[in-house]
Structure 1
Amino acid sequence: MSSTQEYWLSGPIPDVPALLQPAAHALLQSVQEAKEYLSEFPEDKLWEKPFGRASVGFHLKHLTGVLDRLLTYAKEETLTDAQFQYLKNEGNGENAPTSQQLIADFETKVGQALKCFKTIPETTLTNERFVGRKKLPTTVIGLLFHAAEHSQRHVGQLLVTVSVLKG
């Protein structure tokens, strides 16, 4: 696939249920765009917050963290202490990995998500799930769709922040 072609035009992803294809494509598109936008990004600007907005580093860590948490809820599991610690530190740039490592972490998490998608029977996509301490109701497909659209939203914010910081 060329880097200018969007994933949704590349055909079905093998073994991913038809109803999850759009979410899978959006996650893969998010990885592709994050790599593209951060090409030649100055590492010393990774944790800058232009105009008081979230840093590039935050967006990269958040992409991985949110996807991990939403997959946990989709599996009907509760968050671990490690996941809560990760959430707490998403905006912390101290001892943080490079932008390229953060992108690699997100790409790994997207790969794990796609493996998970392949195990989900379509007949279970409307099964109820609950989110957070308040046990807010949703469904399996609701969580997976939100994971994809949330990733796309943060990649869009990432583009704007990178553009501002690169000048």
Structure 2
Amino acid sequence: MDTSKKPEVWLRGSVPGIPAFLQPAAHALLQSKEEVFKYTEAFPEALIWEKPAGRASVGFHLQHITGVLDRMLTYAEGNSLSEEQFAFLRREGEPTEDRKLANLTTDFSKKVDQALEIFKATPEAILTEKRTVGRKKMPSTMLGLYFHAAEHSQRHVGQMLVTISVLKIA
């Protein structure tokens, strides 16, 4: 995925099929997806669970952005989290044999693709419908949840870049 000569996603025009109000979220998720692959391209597998200065590992960031996106999509549908989602949340940051870099980046990529398909199927007229978050049922809307998922992924990709940069010079 060579994007080195392209402008950032938000400067490339509308994402086909995505409603206008969801374009910023789609742009941010696609930017996150591109940057995840760009920043991890030559990153050593042996370092994905390292925590420089006690900060979150690259593996954690990859698991977390995938998990948050999944959870926000669930809340946007008006559902509570499943036991599988709670189990995934508890395991974020735990290295296991199946949690290789390629698996983590692919999982995030697939979750972004799923989100974009959901965005395409979401009529703009329902984006302001009320939704709740978590066990405390904190108030939000579909649009708020989609935006948070996109913004949150961008934030963690930025943190992941810093972690990668530190680990590469260590």
Which of residues 56, 65, 68 in structure 2 aligns to 1:66? 68
Residue deviations 1:88-110 (CA, integer Å, cap 9, x gap)? 00110122421121111000000
CA distance in 2 between partners of 1:150 and 1:43 (Å): 24
Residue deviations 1:133-165 (CA, integer Å, cap 9, x gap)? 000001110000000000000000000000000
1:26 aligns with 2:32: no
Q: How many residues align?
A: 167
Residue deviations 1:22-50 (CA, integer Å, cap 9, x gap)? 10010000010011111110111110000
Q: CA deviation at 1:6?
A: 0.8
CA distance in 2 between partners of 1:77 and 1:57 (Å): 27
Alignment of 1:58-137 (within 5 A): 58-137=60-139
Gaps of 5+ in 2: none
Q: Partner amino acid for 1:162? A: I
Alignment RMSD: 1.1
Who is 1:43 aligned against?
45
Determine helix, strand or coil for the equivalent of 2:140: strand
Q: Partner amino acid for 2:9? A: Y
Per the normalisation by structure 1, the TM-score is 0.97
Hey, which bits of structure 1, 4+ residues long, moved more than 4 A? none
Per the normalisation by structure 2, the TM-score is 0.95
Who is 1:54 aligned against?
56
Identity percentage of aligned residues: 59
CA distance in 1 between partners of 2:122 and 2:78 (Å): 12
CA distance in 2 between partners of 1:28 and 1:99 (Å): 19
Determine helix, strand or coil for the equivalent of 2:103: helix
